[in-house]
Structure 1
Amino acid sequence: MQITCHMISSVDGRQVASRWTRAADPAADMHKAYAEAAAKLGADGWIVGRKTMAEFAGDIVEVREPVEGHPTSFVSTFFGNREDRPLAIVFDTHGTLHYKSNTLPTGEHIVAILGSHVTRAYQKELEQAGVSYIVRTPGKPEEETLDALKHIEKDFGVKHLLLEGGGHTNGTFLHMKLVDSMSVIVYPGLDGRAGIPSIVEFEDNAVENPMDGLTLELTDCEKLEGGLVWLRYAVNR
Protein backbone atom coordinates (compact mmCIF):
# COMPACT_ATOMS: atom_id res chain seq x y z
CA MET A 1 0.00 0.00 0.00
CA GLN A 2 1.27 3.44 -0.96
CA ILE A 3 0.90 6.45 1.36
CA THR A 4 1.22 10.02 0.07
CA CYS A 5 1.36 12.86 2.59
CA HIS A 6 -0.81 15.53 0.94
CA MET A 7 -0.85 18.95 2.63
CA ILE A 8 -1.23 22.66 1.99
CA SER A 9 0.84 25.19 3.89
CA SER A 10 1.84 28.82 4.00
CA VAL A 11 5.28 29.76 2.68
CA ASP A 12 6.62 29.41 6.24
CA GLY A 13 5.21 25.90 6.61
CA ARG A 14 2.27 26.63 8.90
CA GLN A 15 -1.04 24.81 8.56
CA VAL A 16 -3.66 27.07 10.21
CA ALA A 17 -5.05 28.64 7.04
CA SER A 18 -7.19 31.23 8.85
CA ARG A 19 -3.97 32.93 10.03
CA TRP A 20 -2.28 33.30 6.64
CA THR A 21 -1.79 36.67 4.97
CA ARG A 22 -3.87 37.35 1.90
CA ALA A 23 -2.45 36.30 -1.47
CA ALA A 24 -1.53 39.09 -3.89
CA ASP A 25 -3.51 37.39 -6.66
CA PRO A 26 -7.27 37.24 -5.92
CA ALA A 27 -7.48 34.09 -8.04
CA ALA A 28 -5.65 32.13 -5.32
CA ASP A 29 -8.12 29.49 -4.11
CA MET A 30 -6.52 27.13 -1.59
CA HIS A 31 -9.53 24.83 -1.26
CA LYS A 32 -9.88 24.35 -5.01
CA ALA A 33 -6.16 23.79 -5.49
CA TYR A 34 -5.96 21.25 -2.69
CA ALA A 35 -9.02 19.28 -3.81
CA GLU A 36 -7.99 19.21 -7.47
CA ALA A 37 -4.49 18.03 -6.58
CA ALA A 38 -5.92 15.30 -4.34
CA ALA A 39 -8.15 14.10 -7.18
CA LYS A 40 -5.15 13.89 -9.52
CA LEU A 41 -3.27 11.75 -7.00
CA GLY A 42 -5.97 9.11 -7.39
CA ALA A 43 -6.13 7.56 -3.91
CA ASP A 44 -8.68 5.18 -2.39
CA GLY A 45 -9.21 7.54 0.53
CA TRP A 46 -7.34 9.48 3.17
CA ILE A 47 -6.02 9.29 6.74
CA VAL A 48 -6.26 11.97 9.43
CA GLY A 49 -5.81 12.22 13.17
CA ARG A 50 -8.57 12.69 15.71
CA LYS A 51 -8.31 16.48 15.95
CA THR A 52 -8.45 16.96 12.19
CA MET A 53 -11.51 14.71 11.86
CA ALA A 54 -13.28 16.53 14.71
CA GLU A 55 -12.93 19.78 12.77
CA PHE A 56 -14.07 18.29 9.48
CA ALA A 57 -17.85 18.19 9.89
CA GLY A 58 -20.31 19.82 12.26
CA ASP A 59 -22.09 16.59 13.14
CA ILE A 60 -18.92 14.93 14.47
CA VAL A 61 -18.74 15.54 18.21
CA GLU A 62 -15.68 14.95 20.35
CA VAL A 63 -16.30 13.87 23.95
CA ARG A 64 -13.09 13.44 25.90
CA GLU A 65 -14.63 11.08 28.46
CA PRO A 66 -14.70 7.57 26.96
CA VAL A 67 -17.91 5.59 26.72
CA GLU A 68 -18.11 3.54 29.91
CA GLY A 69 -18.16 -0.24 29.82
CA HIS A 70 -15.91 -3.27 29.67
CA PRO A 71 -13.01 -3.20 27.20
CA THR A 72 -13.47 -5.35 24.15
CA SER A 73 -11.91 -8.78 24.52
CA PHE A 74 -11.22 -9.41 20.85
CA VAL A 75 -9.59 -7.84 17.83
CA SER A 76 -11.93 -7.21 14.95
CA THR A 77 -12.81 -5.33 11.80
CA PHE A 78 -16.38 -4.12 11.46
CA PHE A 79 -17.64 -3.26 7.98
CA GLY A 80 -20.20 -0.47 7.97
CA ASN A 81 -22.20 0.86 5.04
CA ARG A 82 -19.35 1.70 2.66
CA GLU A 83 -21.09 1.15 -0.69
CA ASP A 84 -17.81 1.47 -2.66
CA ARG A 85 -17.20 5.01 -1.46
CA PRO A 86 -13.71 6.42 -0.80
CA LEU A 87 -12.51 6.02 2.78
CA ALA A 88 -12.02 8.67 5.46
CA ILE A 89 -9.79 6.90 7.99
CA VAL A 90 -9.32 8.41 11.45
CA PHE A 91 -6.93 7.28 14.16
CA ASP A 92 -9.08 7.67 17.28
CA THR A 93 -7.23 5.56 19.83
CA HIS A 94 -9.45 6.35 22.81
CA GLY A 95 -12.79 6.38 21.01
CA THR A 96 -13.72 10.01 21.68
CA LEU A 97 -15.43 10.88 18.38
CA HIS A 98 -19.17 10.39 17.98
CA TYR A 99 -20.95 10.29 14.63
CA LYS A 100 -24.49 10.84 13.42
CA SER A 101 -23.65 9.43 10.00
CA ASN A 102 -21.12 7.05 8.48
CA THR A 103 -20.58 9.39 5.53
CA LEU A 104 -18.89 12.80 5.42
CA PRO A 105 -20.49 15.72 3.55
CA THR A 106 -17.84 15.22 0.85
CA GLY A 107 -18.97 11.60 0.32
CA GLU A 108 -16.30 9.51 2.04
CA HIS A 109 -17.16 6.56 4.28
CA ILE A 110 -15.72 6.80 7.81
CA VAL A 111 -13.38 4.13 9.17
CA ALA A 112 -12.24 4.53 12.79
CA ILE A 113 -8.96 3.01 13.99
CA LEU A 114 -9.44 2.19 17.67
CA GLY A 115 -7.15 1.17 20.50
CA SER A 116 -7.55 -2.29 21.99
CA HIS A 117 -8.90 -0.82 25.26
CA VAL A 118 -11.94 0.87 23.68
CA THR A 119 -15.16 -0.44 25.19
CA ARG A 120 -17.66 -2.72 23.51
CA ALA A 121 -20.32 -0.07 24.19
CA TYR A 122 -18.46 2.40 21.98
CA GLN A 123 -18.08 -0.21 19.26
CA LYS A 124 -21.84 -0.78 19.30
CA GLU A 125 -22.38 2.96 18.95
CA LEU A 126 -20.26 2.98 15.78
CA GLU A 127 -22.07 -0.08 14.46
CA GLN A 128 -25.45 1.59 14.91
CA ALA A 129 -24.19 4.60 12.93
CA GLY A 130 -22.82 2.34 10.18
CA VAL A 131 -19.25 3.51 10.80
CA SER A 132 -16.58 0.93 9.98
CA TYR A 133 -13.84 0.33 12.51
CA ILE A 134 -10.67 -1.64 13.14
CA VAL A 135 -9.62 -2.59 16.68
CA ARG A 136 -5.85 -2.64 16.78
CA THR A 137 -3.89 -5.62 18.06
CA PRO A 138 -2.52 -4.80 21.55
CA GLY A 139 1.14 -3.87 21.54
CA LYS A 140 3.51 -0.93 21.36
CA PRO A 141 2.07 2.17 19.58
CA GLU A 142 4.18 1.61 16.46
CA GLU A 143 3.20 -2.06 16.33
CA GLU A 144 -0.48 -1.16 16.68
CA THR A 145 -0.22 1.39 13.85
CA LEU A 146 1.44 -1.11 11.51
CA ASP A 147 -1.21 -3.70 12.35
CA ALA A 148 -4.00 -1.23 11.60
CA LEU A 149 -2.50 -0.35 8.22
CA LYS A 150 -2.24 -4.04 7.32
CA HIS A 151 -5.94 -4.46 8.09
CA ILE A 152 -6.84 -1.37 6.05
CA GLU A 153 -5.00 -2.78 3.05
CA LYS A 154 -6.29 -6.34 3.41
CA ASP A 155 -9.84 -5.84 4.68
CA PHE A 156 -10.80 -2.83 2.56
CA GLY A 157 -8.73 -3.54 -0.56
CA VAL A 158 -6.83 -0.26 -0.32
CA LYS A 159 -3.82 0.38 -2.58
CA HIS A 160 -3.16 4.10 -2.09
CA LEU A 161 -4.05 6.52 0.71
CA LEU A 162 -3.46 10.22 1.28
CA LEU A 163 -2.14 11.23 4.69
CA GLU A 164 -3.71 14.63 5.40
CA GLY A 165 -2.65 15.63 8.90
CA GLY A 166 -2.55 17.04 11.32
CA GLY A 167 1.11 17.71 11.78
CA HIS A 168 1.58 15.22 14.62
CA THR A 169 -0.01 12.40 12.63
CA ASN A 170 2.17 13.26 9.64
CA GLY A 171 5.25 13.39 11.85
CA THR A 172 4.52 9.99 13.37
CA PHE A 173 4.03 8.34 9.97
CA LEU A 174 7.19 9.93 8.56
CA HIS A 175 9.20 8.95 11.64
CA MET A 176 7.99 5.36 11.22
CA LYS A 177 9.05 5.51 7.55
CA LEU A 178 5.54 4.72 6.33
CA VAL A 179 5.27 7.57 3.80
CA ASP A 180 6.23 6.90 0.19
CA SER A 181 5.78 10.40 -1.25
CA MET A 182 4.91 13.96 -0.29
CA SER A 183 2.56 16.34 -2.08
CA VAL A 184 2.73 19.88 -0.71
CA ILE A 185 0.81 22.86 -2.05
CA VAL A 186 2.40 26.13 -0.96
CA TYR A 187 -0.01 29.05 -0.60
CA PRO A 188 1.49 32.52 -1.23
CA GLY A 189 0.93 33.76 2.30
CA LEU A 190 2.67 33.91 5.67
CA ASP A 191 1.80 33.19 9.28
CA GLY A 192 4.96 34.33 11.05
CA ARG A 193 3.98 33.41 14.59
CA ALA A 194 6.25 31.08 16.56
CA GLY A 195 4.61 27.97 17.95
CA ILE A 196 1.82 27.68 15.37
CA PRO A 197 1.34 24.09 14.14
CA SER A 198 3.30 23.14 11.05
CA ILE A 199 2.51 20.43 8.51
CA VAL A 200 5.03 18.02 10.09
CA GLU A 201 5.62 17.80 13.84
CA PHE A 202 6.95 15.13 16.20
CA GLU A 203 6.20 15.25 19.92
CA ASP A 204 8.66 12.82 21.51
CA ASN A 205 11.47 15.01 22.85
CA ALA A 206 13.53 11.91 23.57
CA VAL A 207 14.05 11.53 19.82
CA GLU A 208 16.59 14.15 18.78
CA ASN A 209 16.29 13.74 15.00
CA PRO A 210 12.91 12.11 14.24
CA MET A 211 13.32 12.36 10.46
CA ASP A 212 16.82 10.89 10.44
CA GLY A 213 17.36 8.55 7.49
CA LEU A 214 14.82 10.20 5.19
CA THR A 215 15.70 12.08 2.02
CA LEU A 216 13.29 13.94 -0.25
CA GLU A 217 13.72 13.71 -4.01
CA LEU A 218 11.85 16.33 -6.05
CA THR A 219 9.75 14.63 -8.72
CA ASP A 220 7.58 17.52 -9.92
CA CYS A 221 6.98 21.21 -9.39
CA GLU A 222 3.92 22.93 -10.85
CA LYS A 223 2.77 26.54 -10.67
CA LEU A 224 -0.97 26.72 -10.05
CA GLU A 225 -3.53 29.46 -10.57
CA GLY A 226 -3.22 32.39 -8.18
CA GLY A 227 0.45 31.92 -7.39
CA LEU A 228 0.19 28.62 -5.53
CA VAL A 229 2.90 26.02 -6.13
CA TRP A 230 2.45 22.22 -6.06
CA LEU A 231 5.59 20.35 -4.99
CA ARG A 232 5.91 16.58 -5.19
CA TYR A 233 8.65 14.50 -3.62
CA ALA A 234 9.59 10.85 -3.40
CA VAL A 235 10.45 9.93 0.18
CA ASN A 236 13.57 7.79 0.18
CA ARG A 237 13.81 5.71 3.36
Structure 2
Amino acid sequence: MVDTKGTLLWKKETSSQKPHLIILSKQVTTEYLKYLDEQNIFWIVTGDKHINLAKAMQILAEHFHVNRMGVVGGPTINTAFLEAKLLDEFAMLIGPGIDGRKEMPSVFEGRKDNPPLH
Protein backbone atom coordinates (compact mmCIF):
# COMPACT_ATOMS: atom_id res chain seq x y z
CA MET A 1 0.00 0.00 0.00
CA VAL A 2 1.00 3.57 -0.61
CA ASP A 3 -0.35 6.44 1.52
CA THR A 4 1.39 9.81 1.17
CA LYS A 5 -0.30 11.57 4.10
CA GLY A 6 -1.15 8.73 6.48
CA THR A 7 -4.92 8.54 6.16
CA LEU A 8 -5.64 4.83 5.63
CA LEU A 9 -7.16 3.03 8.62
CA TRP A 10 -7.71 -0.67 9.29
CA LYS A 11 -9.52 -2.82 11.78
CA LYS A 12 -7.23 -5.01 13.86
CA GLU A 13 -5.64 -7.42 11.40
CA THR A 14 -6.02 -11.04 12.44
CA SER A 15 -6.81 -13.04 9.30
CA SER A 16 -3.87 -12.32 7.00
CA GLN A 17 -1.09 -14.89 6.86
CA LYS A 18 1.31 -12.26 5.52
CA PRO A 19 1.78 -8.88 7.17
CA HIS A 20 0.75 -5.60 5.56
CA LEU A 21 3.39 -3.07 4.61
CA ILE A 22 2.62 0.56 3.80
CA ILE A 23 4.86 3.13 2.11
CA LEU A 24 4.51 6.69 3.42
CA SER A 25 6.01 10.14 2.95
CA LYS A 26 7.47 12.29 5.73
CA GLN A 27 4.11 14.12 5.91
CA VAL A 28 2.69 11.45 8.23
CA THR A 29 2.35 12.16 11.93
CA THR A 30 4.05 10.21 14.69
CA GLU A 31 0.55 9.37 15.94
CA TYR A 32 -0.19 7.64 12.63
CA LEU A 33 3.06 5.66 12.84
CA LYS A 34 2.10 4.58 16.39
CA TYR A 35 -1.31 3.52 15.06
CA LEU A 36 0.39 1.37 12.38
CA ASP A 37 2.64 -0.19 15.02
CA GLU A 38 -0.43 -1.02 17.14
CA GLN A 39 -2.02 -2.67 14.09
CA ASN A 40 1.18 -4.68 13.45
CA ILE A 41 1.54 -3.04 10.04
CA PHE A 42 5.08 -2.57 8.76
CA TRP A 43 5.88 0.82 7.29
CA ILE A 44 8.52 2.62 5.24
CA VAL A 45 8.84 6.43 5.22
CA THR A 46 10.67 7.95 2.27
CA GLY A 47 10.28 11.28 0.47
CA ASP A 48 9.26 14.66 1.83
CA LYS A 49 5.96 15.72 0.23
CA HIS A 50 5.78 12.78 -2.17
CA ILE A 51 6.85 9.19 -1.75
CA ASN A 52 10.23 8.42 -3.27
CA LEU A 53 9.22 5.21 -5.01
CA ALA A 54 12.73 4.34 -6.19
CA LYS A 55 14.05 4.56 -2.62
CA ALA A 56 11.06 2.60 -1.31
CA MET A 57 11.73 -0.20 -3.82
CA GLN A 58 15.40 -0.21 -2.78
CA ILE A 59 14.35 -0.58 0.88
CA LEU A 60 11.90 -3.35 -0.02
CA ALA A 61 14.66 -5.24 -1.82
CA GLU A 62 17.34 -4.76 0.84
CA HIS A 63 15.30 -5.21 4.02
CA PHE A 64 12.31 -7.30 2.96
CA HIS A 65 13.92 -9.30 0.11
CA VAL A 66 11.25 -8.20 -2.39
CA ASN A 67 12.74 -8.53 -5.87
CA ARG A 68 9.54 -8.63 -7.92
CA MET A 69 6.10 -7.25 -7.21
CA GLY A 70 2.86 -6.42 -8.92
CA VAL A 71 1.45 -2.91 -8.91
CA VAL A 72 -2.32 -3.18 -8.74
CA GLY A 73 -3.63 0.34 -8.62
CA GLY A 74 -5.38 3.15 -10.34
CA PRO A 75 -4.03 5.67 -12.82
CA THR A 76 -2.20 7.80 -10.24
CA ILE A 77 -0.01 5.04 -8.75
CA ASN A 78 0.42 3.33 -12.12
CA THR A 79 1.69 6.58 -13.63
CA ALA A 80 3.97 7.24 -10.64
CA PHE A 81 5.67 3.85 -11.10
CA LEU A 82 5.90 4.42 -14.86
CA GLU A 83 7.47 7.87 -14.47
CA ALA A 84 9.93 6.53 -11.89
CA LYS A 85 10.97 3.94 -14.50
CA LEU A 86 10.08 1.12 -12.11
CA LEU A 87 7.91 -0.89 -14.50
CA ASP A 88 9.61 -3.51 -16.60
CA GLU A 89 6.47 -5.31 -17.66
CA PHE A 90 2.87 -4.29 -18.18
CA ALA A 91 -0.08 -6.68 -18.36
CA MET A 92 -3.65 -5.55 -18.72
CA LEU A 93 -6.75 -7.67 -18.24
CA ILE A 94 -9.71 -6.43 -20.25
CA GLY A 95 -13.17 -7.60 -19.30
CA PRO A 96 -16.36 -7.16 -21.25
CA GLY A 97 -18.21 -3.99 -20.43
CA ILE A 98 -18.89 -0.53 -21.74
CA ASP A 99 -18.55 2.59 -19.66
CA GLY A 100 -18.34 5.89 -21.47
CA ARG A 101 -18.34 8.12 -18.40
CA LYS A 102 -15.54 10.66 -18.72
CA GLU A 103 -14.91 10.70 -14.95
CA MET A 104 -13.89 7.03 -14.97
CA PRO A 105 -10.13 6.56 -14.38
CA SER A 106 -7.83 5.47 -17.15
CA VAL A 107 -4.88 3.12 -16.79
CA PHE A 108 -2.27 5.92 -16.86
CA GLU A 109 -3.10 9.57 -16.40
CA GLY A 110 -1.47 12.98 -16.22
CA ARG A 111 2.05 12.09 -17.31
CA LYS A 112 4.43 14.99 -16.95
CA ASP A 113 6.36 14.17 -20.07
CA ASN A 114 5.51 12.45 -23.32
CA PRO A 115 8.44 10.14 -24.03
CA PRO A 116 8.10 7.49 -26.72
CA LEU A 117 7.24 4.07 -25.32
CA HIS A 118 9.74 1.32 -26.08
| Fold shared by both chains (TM-score > 0.5) | yes
2:117 counterpart residue number: 214
When the two chains are superposed, the root-mean-square deviation of aligned CA atoms in Å is: 2.2
Tell me how far 1:145 sits from its aligned partner.
1.8
For normalisation by structure 2, the TM-score amounts to 0.85
Match of 2:84 among 176, 197, 213: 176
- Give the letter aligned to residue 149 of structure 1: M
- Give the letter aligned to residue 72 of structure 2: E
> Gaps spanning 5+ residues in structure 1: where?
1-89, 216-237
- Give the letter aligned to residue 24 of structure 2: L
> Gaps spanning 5+ residues in structure 2: where?
none
Separation (CA, whole Å) in 1 of partners of 2:13 and 2:67: 22
For normalisation by structure 1, the TM-score amounts to 0.45
% same residue: 32
Q: Please identify the structure whose Cα radius of gyration is greater.
A: 1
2:44 counterpart residue number: 134
Separation (CA, whole Å) in 1 of partners of 2:16 and 2:64: 19
Separation (CA, whole Å) in 2 of partners of 1:201 and 1:137: 22
Separation (CA, whole Å) in 1 of partners of 2:91 and 2:17: 22
Change (3 A) 1:137 1:196: closer
Return the structure number with greater strand share.
1
2:9 counterpart residue number: 98
1:110 aligns with 2:13: no
Separation (CA, whole Å) in 1 of partners of 2:54 and 2:16: 27
- Give the letter aligned to residue 117 of structure 2: L
1:145 counterpart residue number: 53
Separation (CA, whole Å) in 2 of partners of 1:101 and 1:114: 20
Are the aligned partners of 1:101 and 1:131 in contact in 2 as well (CA < 8 Å)?
A: no
Structure with more relative contact order (C-alpha pairs < 8 Å, separation 6 or more): 1
